[in-house]
Structure 1
């Protein structure tokens, strides 16, 4: 699964990047829209093969109808709030900015996650073993948010590095900067089977979940430290070799393979069965929070020297990995045998 979704991630930047940078950005974004439409068509066409997968179970028809009404009501409320904010901005009563929205969204996500875990621990009816296992999830949430806040620099500060400071000439033709976005998914397609085989081969010596997360954070940090080193040459003038980014993406990919698929699996195992769906939503909120932080950090690219920016991100990631590594023993014991 994880390898498969990255096949599309490999082709996307090549097609959209070529059209966008080489011809017109309307074509680039249009191609992305066509790809998304084809994905929806394939999903609808294959719907009949899913059977009862994903359907609400253990409820009568009235209960399912009530759940669907709640879903639509929540969607309507969110849409209404969005329209209200847009109307207030159009009337000049509310000043919205990208940075302001990102900061507000980050605060909202953080508060919602804290309130959710407080509700689960206090009113979720957890037994002792469930309580211990669920206590691991906030630790993984924070680690994942830190990881994605660095990893998602790929589409912002790292892509600007590729565009402005990297020598991309191949036989007299300058390749699109966005093509370097395909390096990470290519590495995933190549390395995912190796990592899967490695975890199986290790057997009883397989690292615990927090250790794998710590390794993922540390490798992310090493990748940024490599890029900080390369950016010192770029700061001195002239474009640097794209190999600096390739090596950085290699470490980011190995870190991702230690953290992301492991996180998806661990959330399903650590969560009580009745809460798996909600906990998966919380897991992806870590990605959302990390992406917001990544955008805010990337905004510093105009005010901070690149070696300082990338070096700081790298040191924070390595430090977070070391801290989680130190705490891996207590966290593993809380997991109560889940690996």
Structure 2
């Protein structure tokens, strides 16, 4: 293993991108363009779903459109489990990233042509699979560029993270403007072109910059295992396709039933993960204690993402229907508000990194940071009560209310998201380290799966109660978590 690692690092150019390995350039721009395509598409997707057919949309009811957005987001995060398995057992991370990009581009190309509802769902399937293949594995390749002892590693991931957020910031402004000003399909075509640029960058530069990074299959299937897995996989696909086709043709598989199935899976899958790890003979008693400590953090994460991810559906709808888009003499596009989250992260992430370093041992514990994140998320929804409370729902709200809401939730995200990644690596049982990281990302999938049911309750008449109840529950959970923090810290068995 050590010899393989040494060979890998020897054939990777270790300089060439701001003092980092040259391969970071390849992965930075591959991920920049992938996020450009994803966030560009997502910025206008909700509007495409509920805009009337005669005006270029698909004509879904707003509540159904919001549920579809939540289910889509949930399945994107669930598919990362498949992508990780394929990279570990079949292709290696580098090739899996490439095929993921192909699937994503094909999905956006299908969206770029005027089509039917079935064509839309096929495009969503392609993008879900493609993102599951690419997203978790491109980060793994970044890690492969550095030796474990390389002190540039954290800095490299920070630069890579900037690429993600720069793509997320630029995309809604460009794709959103084109999609809302001209037509949605032209906007989706820009998302497809963005992914194409990412693939071209990846293919043309990876040979000279990545070396053998991501080429090795860590735990390859044996010939016998391949035959068995492909047989089971093939049969499963045929059975699922047959059941799906019969259900759709007979009218039994409705959008509402499908969203309910995904919502149930969002709860069942994490529970199975926890049970398997907890009862495993490979898990020590201290690790079981840490898993118990991880459960309230996981629930807190679900609550947080349930609010944060509504920026792409409920708050996007609010921007389109309830917000005055004339501001200081400028005509705003409702899709532009999707740029606020990555913009605030780029501006504030260095501040939080400095703050935690400055506080050192005096910084809040992990459960306390989570509780702060929950309370800030709840507050971001509470502020959305005021426009309707002050002026009613008949008048359009000042856009600064939305800006304030996005700003507050990003403060919460920076308390919870990077801290959660770090805590997951520390609390994970040694035998399940990779799967526990998958479990962390499942907290987002579970949140959006539950959102698929919750968002149905939103409309202009329920606006105050909707934002108030969800925001209030999040704040109360944050207070409860804060009170339980010392107890949770004990279960963490020395992990800070």
How far off its partner does 1:273 sit? 3.4
| TM-score, normalisation: structure 2 | 0.62
Corresponding residue of 2:181: 22
C-alpha distance after superposition, 1:23-59 (max 9, x if no partner): 10001222223323433444454376274558454x6
Give yes or no for contact 1:3–1:192 (8 Å, CA) kept in 2.
no
In 1, distance between residues paired with 2:264 and 2:463?
27
RMSD, aligned CA? 2.5
In 2, distance between residues paired with 1:185 and 1:167?
22
How far off its partner does 1:124 sit? 4.2
How far off its partner does 1:189 sit? 0.4
Say if 2:206 is the partner of 1:46.
Answer: yes
How far off its partner does 1:187 sit? 0.5
Structure-2 change in CA distance of 1:307 and 1:205 (3 Å): same
How far off its partner does 1:216 sit? 0.5
Say if 2:432 is the partner of 1:308.
Answer: no
How far off its partner does 1:81 sit? 5.0
Q: What does residue range 124-273 of structure 1 map to in structure 2 within 5 Å?
A: 124-170=281-327, 172-233=329-390, 235-273=392-430
Q: Which moved more, 1:264-273 or 1:210-219?
A: 264-273
Say if 2:487 is the partner of 1:334.
Answer: no
Per the alignment, in what secondary structure is the counterpart of residue 389 of structure 2? helix
Give yes or no for contact 1:210–1:332 (8 Å, CA) kept in 2.
yes
Q: RCO higher in 1 or 2 (8 Å CA, sep ≥ 6)?
A: 1
In 1, distance between residues paired with 2:414 and 2:313?
21
Say if 2:272 is the partner of 1:94.
Answer: no
Structure-2 change in CA distance of 1:90 and 1:333 (3 Å): same
C-alpha distance after superposition, 1:252-305 (max 9, x if no partner): 000011111111121112113331211111111111111122333222123752
Structure-2 change in CA distance of 1:220 and 1:240 (3 Å): same
| TM-score, normalisation: structure 1 | 0.89
Per the alignment, in what secondary structure is the counterpart of residue 95 of structure 1? coil
In 1, distance between residues paired with 2:232 and 2:195?
25
In 2, distance between residues paired with 1:67 and 1:133?
34
- Aligned partner of 2:454 among 279, 291, 297: 297
Corresponding residue of 1:280: 437
Unaligned runs of 5+ in 2: 1-157
- Aligned partner of 1:34 among 185, 193, 198: 193
Aligned length: 335
Say if 2:187 is the partner of 1:5.
Answer: no
Give yes or no for contact 1:156–1:295 (8 Å, CA) kept in 2.
no
In 2, distance between residues paired with 1:202 and 1:68?
51
How far off its partner does 1:84 sit? 2.7
Structure-2 change in CA distance of 1:251 and 1:68 (3 Å): farther
Per the alignment, in what secondary structure is the counterpart of residue 250 of structure 2? coil
Unaligned runs of 5+ in 1: none
How far off its partner does 1:118 sit? 1.3
Structure-2 change in CA distance of 1:38 and 1:81 (3 Å): farther
Structure-2 change in CA distance of 1:42 and 1:238 (3 Å): same
